[in-house]
């Protein structure tokens, strides 16, 4: 029996890099001191923010300390079994190791989510590219993929804006309310390409379709985005409906245009115009936050995916259904053959590979020139 415990070395690496237990203990002490300040409990928003941060910090510290203890115990048991030549515990040791490794991998991913807005929920917007029915069907497939992903994690989500078109979806915006949703999904921003035999082509020819995905954080009161009234134009219009008795008779849909940047957001999900305004304003603030962040970091190509044309050569990922099955990320070169599993929401391997790739300072791979191109 041969079993190496990689956990201890990995934990040590994290402690010297992203994870700093001493710094976390100092932060916990500072936040606990803050809760003892006069008037702390009278400010509900501040109380929720600080207590939420305290809970996260304590969970992080407890997780890594427990992993360290478990890995040390496992090494001791393994060393004892090896010294005595006892192979009867091999199954238990391997099982304990796999459990510790799974917990380590999960905790390591969370340590990579250290950005200002990574803990936030996310707005996910999908736009169909050129191609009419084909592209709209592809956009609806992506919408299903991401909502299935949210369901796999028991994340609460809501479709806040949906523009349907013949064959599928022209555009859609989904709000995902979950801790670290933005941090996990931010690498999904970019152009997604589909290659398949078209179900809409009577000649059964292979078609290529494109859709873009944009990810923005749902901002809380810890991140401020200033919007001057004079920079904002608000239009109202009658939202789409199913017709008949369900036809909308009021101008409840809202379109907001930020004049300096040209960013436009819409919301027509709620029957109340006021609620649609609130949701649209939240989406606009999130998009402006991402816009200004990209402006600050525009020299880094991996933050420019949103600026690319929704067409050939700008894709970050390809989903190939024919002549073979494969989903490939063109930035990390990671790929899987189970395309149906991916379309059913199994995208965590791509998310985690991109997080590790970007944290390590990986450069985007050259785009285009793949074997699966038409």
Query: What does the pLDDT look like over 57-103, one tens digit per residue?
Result: 888 888 888 999 999 999 999 998 888 888 888 888 899 989 988 88
Is 325 in contact with 336 (CB distance < 8 Å)? no
Evaluate whether residue 372 is within a structural domain.
no
| 38: CATH | 1.20.58
213 and 326 both lie in a single domain: yes
9 pLDDT higher than 60: no
- pLDDT (0 to 100) of residue 269: 76
194 and 322 both lie in a single domain: yes
339 pLDDT higher than 90: yes
| Banded model confidence at residue 301, pLDDT cuts 50, 70, 90 | very low
Paired tokens of 23: 């710094």
367 pLDDT higher than 50: no
| Banded model confidence at residue 203, pLDDT cuts 50, 70, 90 | confident
- pLDDT (0 to 100) of residue 18: 57
Which stretch, 161-170, 292-301, 303-312, has highest mean pLDDT? 161-170
Evaluate whether residue 173 is within a structural domain.
yes
Which of 165, 159, 102 lies closest to 128 in space, CA to CA? 165
pLDDT (tens digit per residue) in 109-121: 888 887 778 888 9
99 and 224 both lie in a single domain: no
127 and 216 both lie in a single domain: yes
- 321/195 Cα distance (integer angstroms): 6
Facing residues of 266 across strands?
Answer: 255
126 and 101 both lie in a single domain: no
- 124/213 Cα distance (integer angstroms): 7
pTM over 0.75: no
Evaluate whether residue 374 is within a structural domain.
no
55 pLDDT higher than 90: no
191 and 101 both lie in a single domain: no
Q: What angle do CA 216, 218, 220 make, to 5 degrees?
A: 140
Evaluate whether residue 42 is within a structural domain.
yes
Averaged pLDDT, 341-358: 93
348 pLDDT higher than 90: yes
Domain boundary pick from 65, 88, 112: 112
96 and 131 both lie in a single domain: no
Domain boundary pick from 60, 93, 112: 112
Evaluate whether residue 28 is within a structural domain.
yes
105 and 128 both lie in a single domain: no
166 and 298 both lie in a single domain: yes
Q: What angle do CA 122, 140, 238 make, to 5 degrees?
A: 80
164 pLDDT higher than 70: yes
Number of domains in the chain: 2
**Residue length, the chain?**
374
Averaged pLDDT, 28-45: 88
Domain boundary pick from 59, 86, 112: 112
- 168/152 Cα distance (integer angstroms): 23
Peptide bond between residue 323 and the one before it cis (omega within 30 degrees of 0): yes
34 and 141 both lie in a single domain: no
Evaluate whether residue 368 is within a structural domain.
no
| Banded model confidence at residue 107, pLDDT cuts 50, 70, 90 | confident
Bigger pLDDT: 51 or 240?
51
| 150: CATH | 3.30.70.1660
- 216/304 Cα distance (integer angstroms): 13
Domain extent, residue 21, equals 7-112
Average pLDDT, the chain: 81
67 and 154 both lie in a single domain: no
Evaluate whether residue 367 is within a structural domain.
no
139 and 264 both lie in a single domain: yes
Evaluate whether residue 265 is within a structural domain.
yes
């Amino acid at each position: 029996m041969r079993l190496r415990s990689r956990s201890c070395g990995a934990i040590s690496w994290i402690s010297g890099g992203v994870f700093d237990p001493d710094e976390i203990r100092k932060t916990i002490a500072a936040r606990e001191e803050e809760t003892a300040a006069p008037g702390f409990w009278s400010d509900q928003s501040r109380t929720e923010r600080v207590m939420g941060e305290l809970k996260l910090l304590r969970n992080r510290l407890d997780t890594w300390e427990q992993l360290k203890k478990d890995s040390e115990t496992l090494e001791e048991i393994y060393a004892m079994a090896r010294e005595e030549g006892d192979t009867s515990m091999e199954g238990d040791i391997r099982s304990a190791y796999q459990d510790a490794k799974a917990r380590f991998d999960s905790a390591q991913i969370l340590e990579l989510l250290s950005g200002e807005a990574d803990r936030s929920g996310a707005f996910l917007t999908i736009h169909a590219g050129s191609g009419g029915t084909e592209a709209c069907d592809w956009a609806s497939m992506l919408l299903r993929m991401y909502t299935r992903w949210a369901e796999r994690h028991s994340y609460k989500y809501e479709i806040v804006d949906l523009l349907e078109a013949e064959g599928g979806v022209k555009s859609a915006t989904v709000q995902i309310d979950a801790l670290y949703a933005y941090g996990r999904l931010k690498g999904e921003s970019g152009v997604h390409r589909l290659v398949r035999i078209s179900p809409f082509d009577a000649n059964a020819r292979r078609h290529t379709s494109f859709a873009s995905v944009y990810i923005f954080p749902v901002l809380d009161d810890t991140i401020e985005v200033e919007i001057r009234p004079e920079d904002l134009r608000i239009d109202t219009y009658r939202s789409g409906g199913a017709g008949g008795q369900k036809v909308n008779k009021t101008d409840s849909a809202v379109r907001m245009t930020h004049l300096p940047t040209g960013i436009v957001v819409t919301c027509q999900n709620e029957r109340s115009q006021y609620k649609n305004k609130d949701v649209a304003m939240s989406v606009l603030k999130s998009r402006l936050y991402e816009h200004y962040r990209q402006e600050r970091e525009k020299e880094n190509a991996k933050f420019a995916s949103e600026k690319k044309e929704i067409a050939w050569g700008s894709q970050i990922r390809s989903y190939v259904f024919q002549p073979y099955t494969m989903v490939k990320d063109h930035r990390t070169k990671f790929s899987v053959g189970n395309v149906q599993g991916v379309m059913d929401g199994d995208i965590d391997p791509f998310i985690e590979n991109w997080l590790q790739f970007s944290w390590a300072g990986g450069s985007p791979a050259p785009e285009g020139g793949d074997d699966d191109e038409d």
